[in-house]
Structure 1
Amino acid sequence: MMTAGPIWALGAMSGTSLDGVDTACVLTDGVTIQQFGESGYRAYSDTEQAVLRAALGQWQDGDLAAASEVVHRAHLEAMSDYDGIALAGFHGQTLAHDPRGRGTHQLGSGDDLAEALGCDVVWDFRSADVALGGEGAPLAPFFHWACARWIGATEPLCFLNLGGVGNLTWVDPTKDRPEAAGALLAFDTGPANAPINDLMMQRRGLTFDRDGALARQGRVEDGALELFLDEPFFRRMPPKSLDRDDFSLMLDLVRELGDADAAATMTGMAATAVMVGMEHCPKPPARLLVTGGGRHNPVMMQMLKAGLDCPVEPVESVGLDGDMLEAQAFAYLAVRVARGLPTSAPGTTGVAAPVGGGQISRAKPRVAAVVQQQGGEV
């Protein structure tokens, strides 16, 4: 266990949208945020995206050599340019998530990164939670609690992450610990950007609907939306989580629609899933702060504003960085793991009791440092 006091930690996140690797530094003691530091982004090339797409849905026994090489190379490049880092948090690339079945699978080795980076690396954040009966997701809520305290919030509020999948965190910032009863409620709301991105790739050969330009030209098909909302997932009580491809039926529901109407309908599905999810909040939130790539989609944001009773704002409105919040989260969680603090709780993943996840891969001492300590020459 590490000594008390804040340290600089580096977090790395590659989401199910498969756009690239976000990296960000946080000065934290694992409870409070002291300061936000540098951040960066390393995009996946079209070839790398194709390799990762081909690996989606595969488990540890699959042929993953090419995908492993992409994940390792991209993360090493993204994480190598930071100085003064005491610890790194490495999420890995989620390929499959089935908490009530085979478990959860994030591709990537913390051992390899620790050796290459020369600092301890915390990784495999989700497996312990799943093993103890939790959903293993979402994991950012403990960080959202710290963010709510950092911005000085005094009333319940929500964080909505619109990545490949949407997930919602309701936070009561008056609670003194994120694992305290009633501090957090979190769950996946439904699909968000991932199926829209898949539609754009199939129909237009593009990776996403930039600025919602295609959706803006179409209209939502109500019949397809109603069929989407018939999915049993929406009747389950939270906490609950999704795999990236659990809602692959969305593409079937819009198959007969033109490109613009299909994009508008799928954007409407993602927004409506959030509206349905908001009904589970213990108390109405004072505001909804949106993070992730979906906040850059004006059509998605307008749908949310029109359908919800609270203000809907990007997290930048309170001084946070919506492009880096998840990477920052895994920096924060890495420090919690290293200090033996829980990273999930019944209200965030449905696990029976607060649990700390994550493995720690220790960096091997540099040969030069060992020789110098012994009084030799390098």
Structure 2
Amino acid sequence: MIRALGLMSGTSLDGIDAAIIETDGEGAVRAGASLAVPYKPEERLLLRLALEAAKSWEPDEPMPEEVAEAERHLTLANALAVRALLAEAGLKPADISVIGFHGQTVLHQPERRRTVQIGLGDVLARLTGIDVVNDFRSADVAAGGHGAPLVPLYHQALAGSTGIVEPVAIINIGGVGNVTYISPDGALLAFDTGPGNALIDDWAHEHTGEPVDRDGALAAGGDVDMDVLERLMAHEFFDAPPPKSLDRFSFSPEAVRHLSPPDGAATLTAFTVEAIARGLAHIPGVPSRFVVCGGGRHNPVLMAMLSKRLQGGVLPAEDLGWRGDDVEAEAFAYLAVRSLRGLPLSLPTTTGVPEPMPGGRIHRAGSIAHD
């Protein structure tokens, strides 16, 4: 068993999730301390500027300065999150064998064999005094995979540790939505389903100044425009077979621009739910339950819509004893251990890569740790 610390910053741009687990990188998982560090407004602004700059970034061009600046700040913010978590857990850097550092996705174009998660792994290793694994997706994408989702192998380990033997669908609603289907014989199928919270968050930020539609309050006051929803669901992505993945900006809120703020929020929330339901039509079995992880499960309007659309069986991760806000951070701790052991991080049925694919880049801390 190896004690690892995972760091995750999702496309919702809400903050950094940090979690410690002990694992062998296979079926054994024990959860440790965790915490969430919300981004400061200026950090969120830097990341938004980086995302905008990355839209027009071509492979033969140097990294845009907005992206480089965000990368420096992001790395420091993650180092501070590691320090805070270690202090809370009463641990020293020497007590952690490896950090799994996801970084921040600013560009995801697997069709061009290109994906970029910013974050300076070598700098984080020096700042923390702990070995770091980052760049989890590049090998998969270079081999022809989608590079996402990467959490399914951890979902499988979690389900096994919980004693789940029946078919189950694990739905993660972050900035983008994705699903992992685990069959009774342990076979995996995973793919992105469509928009998660990103469109809803952007709409709420534009109309309320809040970074999210807190408690679904904006959507709760509106009505779903079914004509707009039908147009949104006409996107070719939804009929494509898995594996498949998305960029945060694969979908636009322009279709709801003419709606009132509450109606726009309600329609975008329904879009996320309908995308998940449409995605589940691609799985080969009938799940006995749908386990929801990620920030979307905190939105009661979204959860109520999802339960109605899937006709029950929808439960938050906590009902299984999981930490729904920490699953992805835990997953990158788990994947870091797999990377150290040379085990695959992705499979043909999770990312479309031709064969099980190891990955990750290891940065050794050496003897220097900066205070």
Cα distance in 2 for residues equivalent to 1:274 and 1:346 = 21
Q: CA deviation at 1:69?
A: 2.2
Count residues with an aligned counterpart.
354
Instruction: Tell whether 2:237 aligns with 1:218.
Output: no
Which of the residues 355, 360, 368 maps onto 1:358? Answer: 360
Judge which range, 138-147 or 79-88, deviates more: 79-88
> Does the CA-based 8 Å contact 2:72-2:120 persist in structure 1?
no
3-state SS in 1 of match to 2:325: coil
In structure 2, the partner of 1:104 is 115
Instruction: Tell whether 2:330 aligns with 1:319.
Output: no
Q: CA deviation at 1:282?
A: 1.2
In structure 1, the partner of 2:21 is 26
Q: CA deviation at 1:364?
A: 1.0
Q: CA deviation at 1:244?
A: 0.3
In structure 2, the partner of 1:69 is 72
Opposite residue 203 of structure 2, the aligned amino acid is L
Cα distance in 1 for residues equivalent to 2:238 and 2:368 = 52
Q: CA deviation at 1:70?
A: 1.9
Q: CA deviation at 1:296?
A: 0.6
Instruction: Tell whether 2:244 aligns with 1:240.
Output: yes
In structure 1, the partner of 2:349 is 347
In structure 2, the partner of 1:3 is none
User: 1:122-141 counterparts in 2 under 5 A?
Assistant: 122-141=133-152
In structure 2, the partner of 1:89 is 100
Instruction: Tell whether 2:270 aligns with 1:268.
Output: yes
Cα distance in 1 for residues equivalent to 2:304 and 2:247 = 26
Structure-1-length-normalised TM-score = 0.91
> Does the CA-based 8 Å contact 1:162-1:292 persist in structure 2?
yes
Q: CA deviation at 1:281?
A: 1.2
Which of the residues 77, 83, 87 maps onto 1:80? Answer: 83
In structure 2, the partner of 1:207 is 211
> Does the CA-based 8 Å contact 1:286-1:310 persist in structure 2?
no
Identity of aligned residues (%): 50
Opposite residue 97 of structure 1, the aligned amino acid is H
> Does the CA-based 8 Å contact 2:175-2:197 persist in structure 1?
yes
Q: CA deviation at 1:34?
A: 3.4
In structure 2, the partner of 1:114 is 125
Q: CA RMSD in A?
A: 1.4
**Structure-2 change in CA distance of 1:340 and 1:173 (3 Å):** farther
> Does the CA-based 8 Å contact 1:12-1:89 persist in structure 2?
yes
Which of the residues 136, 143, 150 maps onto 2:161? Answer: 150
> Does the CA-based 8 Å contact 1:149-1:173 persist in structure 2?
no
Instruction: Tell whether 2:41 aligns with 1:37.
Output: no
> Does the CA-based 8 Å contact 1:151-1:318 persist in structure 2?
yes
Judge which range, 146-155 or 28-37, deviates more: 28-37
Instruction: Tell whether 2:256 aligns with 1:254.
Output: yes
In structure 2, the partner of 1:285 is 287
3-state SS in 1 of match to 2:26: coil
Cα distance in 2 for residues equivalent to 1:344 and 1:158 = 18
In structure 1, the partner of 2:10 is 15
Structure-2-length-normalised TM-score = 0.93
Runs of at least 4 residues of structure 1 off by over 4 A? none
Q: CA deviation at 1:205?
A: 1.5
User: Residue deviations 1:315-369, cap 9 Å, x none?
Assistant: 00000000100000000000000001001000000000000110111111249xx
Q: CA deviation at 1:174?
A: 3.5
Opposite residue 299 of structure 1, the aligned amino acid is V
3-state SS in 1 of match to 2:25: coil
Opposite residue 75 of structure 2, the aligned amino acid is H
> Does the CA-based 8 Å contact 1:120-1:360 persist in structure 2?
yes
Q: CA deviation at 1:80?
A: 1.9
Q: 5+ residue gaps in structure 1?
A: 1-5, 176-182, 368-378
Which of the residues 176, 181, 187 maps onto 1:170? Answer: 181
Cα distance in 2 for residues equivalent to 1:343 and 1:47 = 33
In structure 2, the partner of 1:374 is none
> Does the CA-based 8 Å contact 1:97-1:243 persist in structure 2?
yes
Instruction: Tell whether 2:235 aligns with 1:231.
Output: yes
Q: CA deviation at 1:200?
A: 1.0
> Does the CA-based 8 Å contact 2:113-2:142 persist in structure 1?
no
> Does the CA-based 8 Å contact 2:204-2:218 persist in structure 1?
no
Cα distance in 2 for residues equivalent to 1:118 and 1:61 = 27
Opposite residue 357 of structure 1, the aligned amino acid is G
In structure 2, the partner of 1:47 is 42
User: Residue deviations 1:213-243, cap 9 Å, x none?
Assistant: 1101111001100000110101110010000
